[in-house]
A and B are shown apart, each in its own frame.
Chain A
Amino acid sequence: MTRHLRRSSVAGIALLASVSISAAPETHRNFVACPIVRDTSTVPCWLADYKGETYFLTLQTDVSAPVNPPQLGHKVLVEGVVSNEPRICGGTVLKPVVLSVLPELDSSCSTMLPAEERYNLTFEPPRPPGPSKGRLAFAPATPAPRPAPAPDVASKTFALQFDFDSAIAFRHAGQLQQIHEFARQSKAARIEITAYRAASLLSDDSVFTEREDIGQRRAEQVAAVLKDAGLTSVAYDVRWRDAAKPDGVNDAALRRAEVVVTR
């Protein structure tokens, strides 16, 4: 089921009703494509082709990296900015870039390219492919600081960002922990969760809209895991709604949940 809608056809969509949509800026590349993995003599590069150009998305690094690689077997929604940096692995560098692995399987996304000398990295990658002798893959974690005393504020707002069409994922564990910790220390009485369903304005001027129930799913999952983590004596106000219109620039930020923790 496609949820790509041409600009001219979106007027009746509640999400975008009565709002005209401008094209994404030329500096931005927002598209859905199969990711491509290219091996190098060190770590693999992740690329994607769009309208005859190859774009560099990211390198294989570590789970803690700000951008995680996409997945073969799935298309990826790319939302990036064309940078002036030298090409990497033959691709125009998108930076910053947000990558969303689309949940449904797509067996056509299977391209693995071999290492070629001309595409090897011209710099040392942030981390090698697995351990390397004599060099730590990443710096040892510094001891966690003692939890700060609960700040003397009545409430605090947290924001969770989501991949397109996805709810809670791997990287949210740390953010949920911050919410949990604040709620516990401040002896929170109320948690308001508002999650959004959003859309992305693609570079071909179509609008790519998330599944209808994703806002509800995000909101309910966040509430459920906070309760399961022990925040049971808190009043929950759980809401979901459609986000503002996409502009092709900040669309990734619209896929979010706001969590307001109040004492």
Chain B
Amino acid sequence: MSAAAATMPAAGAGTWTRVARYGVLFGAIAIYLCIVGIVPTFNTRPLIAGLLSLGQASLYLTMIAAGYLATSRVPTSGPVQAILVGAVVGGITGTFPSLLVLAGAAVDLRAVLPHASPELYTVLTASLGTSGFWVPLASGVVLGALAGSLATLPLVAQRPLSRGLVMLLVFGLFAGVLRTPMLANFMEPVARFLFAPEGLTVIGAVLIFGVTVVSVIAQRQLRVRERVDALPASTRRRLRVPLLLLLAVVVLTIPIGLGSFFAQVIAIVTLYVLMGFGLNITLGLAGLLDLGFVAFFAVGAYTVGLMTSTGEFGLLGWPWWAAAPFGVLFAMAVGAFLGLPILGIRGDYLAIATLGFGEIIRILAGSDLLKPWLGGPQGILNIPKPIEVPPDHLLAGPNQIYYIALVCAAFIAFVAWRLRGSRLGRAWMAMREDEDVAEALGVNLVQTKLLAYMLGAAFAGLGGAIFAGLVGAMFGSSISLFVSINVAALLIVGGMGSNPGVIVGAIFLIGVPELFREFSAYRFLFYGVALIAMMLYKPEGLLPSGITRRELHKPEELELVAGDTTVSEAGSS
């Protein structure tokens, strides 16, 4: 990057217009962060205790991004000019919040923008009050210049620094999450050293940044990546088994010793992974955009609720294990019932139709019409947990749900894997790619779609059944379009048709927001941005299935069969 910058022609007037445009864009983003409430609300969460809050960090990151992007994208005649560009862009970005402070001093904006409050101004002006209006501008200039200088460095030098910054952010965000469990065991002194009650300690921050930088440099110096790639396939294969075993051990022991809050989060994540695997069959393999997934979830949950509840609406008082299969079967039946009429509809219209079904079921479930059977808005209560254990047992509380969900998810993944390599799986994929051609090759579209839809419904029902066991109750309000969209988002962000992608998606889209419940108001804001960003830059997902497949079928595993039918002259090329 810097080499290219050095050979670029000197900047002209056009360059400065572009610089100005970057500045305005990021300035608008900065104002957005202020008025939408991210800066003031996130200010309560320290990144580095006593020094830097999350809210401030968001603003500073905007300025850094502005400086970095502008410097990388705009031709400059040398590092000095690059730094200047960065400073200018950062300055323009910073001007916007500064102007906001001044405007706020003149007029009380809260009538229109409730977040234009004293708290916001305190953050922006570093507690200096209106006379500190220059603070954002100045920080913009400084940070922009720093970012600009970062951009002029060769990529090799950039990487450790940027990785260091990322790690700083990650650890700062997760400090609270990591600290609590660590305090409970032998890692306590480490925890106290690195982490303040919320966020990193200053020393912790410096340490983490330094360690990351050093390790990235070391990785490169020691050529770790090349050495790993150079390992012969046989060694890699031999390593695979112990690595998988290690992974299995970790997965099986996660909930132990992490406390009930995390166990709950992990249970929910696993539940979503389970449903994601299910939707991966309907959407990932067969390409049916089912946005009414939650309807089958509801059927499974209500079936289990009705059959097991010891409360008012329970019908049979059966144990969970007896009721769950019925939940699955019933969901599958409803899937067939709903699917038959609508599977002839194409593309996005199918999405809307399934969405309609989901909403119909949601409203009906909570309605007065069905209240005598389904409990209306109060729902069905007193659903017992699958396994009755004393409170201290390993399987108490959400843990048993975690393990049940884990086993079920593994089962679904297994089924999906087997199906994918089968006649049905190929028919699904063909249908997904080109429905008309698949039909012309003899694929019965409706039947094939129906199977995918029903299987997806069955697994959604399983998710619902497990959910009922987890929560112990089922309300109409638990059924929402958001559940369907959540599961679909897992696939979209993780990579459609890719089960590892679903896991990644679940960790980021379900796990992380659950850990940061205090910011739940902004969760869907980030969702929306994430969806748009994914579609713009990486529509195939973070971990698309092609990668995993290609990794699993390396060319050396191709067999050449001898003694084939005669190869005629015309046939070979």
**B and A form one assembly:** no
Which residues of chain B have a CB within 8 Å of any CB of chain A?
A: none
